[in-house]
Chain A
Amino acid sequence: MPETLPIDSVGLVTPQTLHFDQPLTLQCGKVLPEYDLVYETYGELNSTASNAILICHALSGHHHAAGYHSASEKKPGWWDSCIGPGKPIDTSRFFVVSLNNLGGCHGSTGPTSINPLTNTQYGPDFPVVTVKDWIISQARLADKLGITTWAAVIGGSLGGMQALQWSIDYPERIKNAVIIASTPKLTAQNIAFNEVARKAITSDPAFHDGRYFEHDTIPQKGLMLARMVGHITYLSDAAMGEKFGRDMRNKAFKFGYDVEFEVESYLNYQGERFSENFDANTYLLMTRALDYFDPAKEYDGLLENALKKALCKFMVISFSTDWRFSPERSEILVDELIKADKHVSYTEIDAPHGHDAFLIPTPRYMDVFSAFMNRVAKEI
């Protein structure tokens, strides 16, 4: 944490846990008899509970979206650039809820949790959860917090998919959906990258079919590789070029295979750091949730028909250099929203950072996001 908190920070925050006794039947058919959800809130819920915003996290995200947990925490929450007083998701107007999804590894019930039926870690026995399952669990969280309707459900990437699913599954409970750097379904290339990531993990000798905890080890190398390949897809060629170019750690080639280029060093560092903080089974599960996401599937593959149920207003934002979920993917969603006769606005932000641009406060992105959220606030 910086010595003095910026005025647009939500400040020190403490995660909270809610326990749910009501069993949850998942899309895969399995049942979670009970579960916990960890979440954080920023701002104040108004007397009519009409100013609540749900923040949905992406693949490796969690509940800590803004502010600091302690004075010793170096970095704020993952979306601190957009959440806080005066920021697009203005906590002086909105009550913001951000949670760790089921299957996560940051407190909510997931593969690292204890299975109440066996008293051991779930590990690979934790059922595959889907975006639809998450929406149900999030609706139950809303019930417990006294929130009947979200003023907006907002997310980037996998988070945007959750916002989209909310609009279809609970049309009366969401007034606005903000879908950023996302897609209505993955392409074969997207799934292929996920498969490489999963294969990296499952082929690590320390993986032990997902029961690595029983062997007192973790598939660190596999996780590291998975993150490295993922990380490449989150950045653009230009962003990488600008950051590292072909810079070398030493001037001359060593004609070997140790780390020589700065970009190699960076990827290794990112991979290592990630592998120390993230659970391998959760990574498998989250990438599968991505692969499976396809709200049109139960509507004969017609997204337009799925979207007909939606009642909310949509804001779709893409980024010019995002090749993980390119602007064309967002435009497909927008076209279907138009066919379904929905209120939708769409913009493509010219930003050099690739998929990660949704986390970076570029001026036009902040302007357009703020303008939309101003409208949301006016309609509370």
Chain B
Amino acid sequence: MRADLKIIEQWVKPESHVLDVGCGDGTLLQHLQENKQVKGYGLEISGTNITSCIDKGVNVLEQNVDVKGLSNFEDNRFDTVIMTQALQALRQPDIMLDEMLRLGKECIVTFPNFAYWRTRFYLLRKGRMPMSKALPYTWYNTPNIHLCTFKDFEALCVQKNIHILDRTVVDKEHQDRWFIHMWPNMLGEIAIYRVTR
């Protein structure tokens, strides 16, 4: 279990209703089903991942949220809406955030922090678009079209009156280390937020 998923797990209430947008191979939902008895659905576009989800006994729906959005779900349908490492790959991440908060009482989002010191240093030293374990793509083939920083995300939350319940940052191994919190925008590689209206 990835460390960031462990952090997310702590934030999900037992027996709650969960939507995992971009659920990947269903690892998180399976874990939540088994340990927290949650009921939920995962949304995914990769065929291989969908098969993995079904194999794990996770309810998965093929849905390209970048095209279709989330309009097929009713308001307040879920307790928690989760999106791990996908926000930055969407065409309209700000509208997606609104939509996720329409469906869920709370949302948990994770994204790579573009202000991480190594990323800054990479750009500064090489003058080229940064590549790392969290951002393993070249500029022309990256799915990450809306990269942001810890500070950017918080500014968006202020602008949209989104209330931040919890936030943390982890390193590339998804480990939560104490020193990161001293300067999260510089030292955190992956940002993890729990937000509500």
Contact = CB atoms under 8 A, between A and B. Distances in A.
Given A331-B72, A338-B72, A372 B54 contact: yes
Interface stretch (B57-65, B86-94, B113-121): B57-65
B191 interface: no
Interface in A145-167: none
Contacts of A315: 54
A344 B59 contact: yes
A347 interface: yes
A67 to B, nearest CB: 27
A344 B61 CA distance: 8
Contacts of A341: 39
Contacts of A375: 54-55, 57
B73 to A, nearest CB: 7
Contacts of B53: 345
Interface residues of A, number: 22
Nearest to A367: B51
Interface in A312-354: 315, 331, 334-335, 338-339, 341, 343-350
A368 B47 contact: yes
A315 B62 CA distance: 12
Contacts of A347: 47, 50, 60, 62
Interface in B14-72: 39, 41, 47, 50-55, 57-63, 72
B47 A345 contact: no
A70 interface: no
Contacts of B51: 364, 367-368, 371
A338 B73 contact: yes
Contact of A368 (B39, B41, B50, B58): B50
Counting chain A CB atoms within 10 Å of each CB, the highest count among B47, B63, B73 belongs to B47
A334 B62 CA distance: 10
Given A345-B60, A347-B47, 14 more contacts: A338-B61, A341-B39, A344-B41, A344-B61, A345-B50, A345-B53, A346-B62, A348-B62, A349-B47, A368-B54, A371-B52, A371-B55, A372-B54, A375-B54
Interface of B: 39, 41, 47, 50-55, 57-63, 72-74, 77
Interface of A: 315, 331, 334-335, 338-339, 341, 343-350, 364, 367-368, 371-372, 374-375
6 contacts: A344-B41, A345-B50, A346-B61, A346-B63, A374-B55, A375-B57
A-B complex: 7 closest residue pairs judged by Cβ atoms: A371-B54, A371-B55, A347-B62, A346-B61, A335-B72, A368-B51, A367-B51
